[in-house]
Amino acid sequence: MKMFTQLIAAAAVATSLGSVAVAQTKDVTFTTDFGFNGRHCYFFTALDKGYYKAEGLNVTIISGKGSIDAVKKVATGTAQIGFADPGAVILGRANDNIPIKLLAIVYAKPPHAVFALVDSGMKVPKDLEGKTVADDPGGAQSLIFKAYALKAGIDASKVKWISAAGPALPSLLATGRVDAIGQFMVGQPLLAAAVAPHKLVRFAYKDAGMDYYGNGIIASEDTIKSDPAMLKAFIRATLKGMSYAFAHPAEAGEIMHKYHKEVSVEVGKGETEIVKEIADFPGHKMGVIDEKSMQNTIEVMKNAFTFKREVSAQEVYVPGFVE
């Protein structure tokens, strides 16, 4: 009888602890920068492997419509956390004083690039002179190109840029209606599949020695002040997802395909490998934001876009969220 009573008591304690654990689980909405793509594999890896759950987070991942949209979603509370280009955060701060900050960086190296076909004969960046390059109207490749051209030894005045809808860019390139297109490096596997059997040549801005950041994890100032522990937990789990995905890109592709069938395993694998290429920054811990690089990012964006006022690095990022 005594043993039975002890078992009942133990069960009651276990139930009570379980209730506390459930009560401590937080619902968190996270928005991607744009759609669901292979470049987002590590978020879904963290979700699938239970890394968010282990941190007490019930994460829902929603689709964004661009970095500016992600900034707006986070600013209005539609999502507590987002994934966005620093340019959108910097512009939001400089022109509209939107209180959003970066907490961790994913693309530690410039993600922008220009792609051409091997058939074109272009082999080095200077070969872009005299050519026509298409970019999405909202793309940053064309706006940052002058800075890249200066680094890469290109006469930017001899390169013609035209605007075209993002979905049309692969077709324009494959059919030879333009000589090259602007594209994020992480989009290379999808682009390669779209232009096959043609092969691609890539002119990456990072290869010219440019130092500025691409996408990172963002939150509002209100959330940063009210719930820093939740944000740190999300970042810990995400970085764990990144590490696992980088070590097992094929599995990461399979996980992504399980959640979003439109992303093939091969594209998921390929995009994850390229994210690793630009996330690794020698001498820096993954995810950590360096003040000098952030200031460089501001300078690059200031030269590409119109600012209503000057913005400091301290206004657009917060240190200490990568543990």
Q: How many residues does the chain have?
A: 323
In this predicted model, what pLDDT tens digit does every residue of 45-70 receive, in sequence order?
Answer: 999 999 999 999 999 999 999 899 99
Residue 1 class from Cβ within 10 Å (0-12 exposed, 13-18 middle, 19+ buried)?
Answer: exposed
At 16 the pLDDT is 45
Looking at the chain, which residues constitute the CATH 3.40.190.10 domain(s)? Answer: 24-109+213-316, 112-208
3-state secondary structure at position 93: helix
CATH code for the structural domain at 112-208 = 3.40.190.10
Q: Prior bond to 167 cis, omega within 30?
A: no
SS3 content of the chain, % helix, strand, coil (to 5): 55, 15, 30
At 284 the pLDDT is 82
Residue 211 class from Cβ within 10 Å (0-12 exposed, 13-18 middle, 19+ buried)?
Answer: middle
Q: How far is CA 259 from CA 43, 48, 50, 149, in A?
A: 11, 9, 14, 40
At 203 the pLDDT is 97
In this predicted model, what pLDDT tens digit does every residue of 134-174 receive, in sequence order?
Answer: 998 877 888 899 999 999 999 999 999 999 988 899 999 99
Query: Average pLDDT, whole number, for the chain?
Result: 92
Encoded tokens for 192:
């390669």
Residues of the chain with pLDDT under 70: 1-23
Contact of 82 with 238, CB cutoff 8 Å: no
Q: How far is CA 245 from CA 36, 42, 89, 318, in A?
A: 16, 6, 27, 26
User: Among all chains, which residue has been given the structure tokens 């934001």?
Assistant: 289
Class of domain 24-109+213-316: alpha beta
At 289 the pLDDT is 96
Our measurement of the distance from residue 290's CA atom to the centroid of its chain's CA atoms, rounded to an integer in Å, reads 17
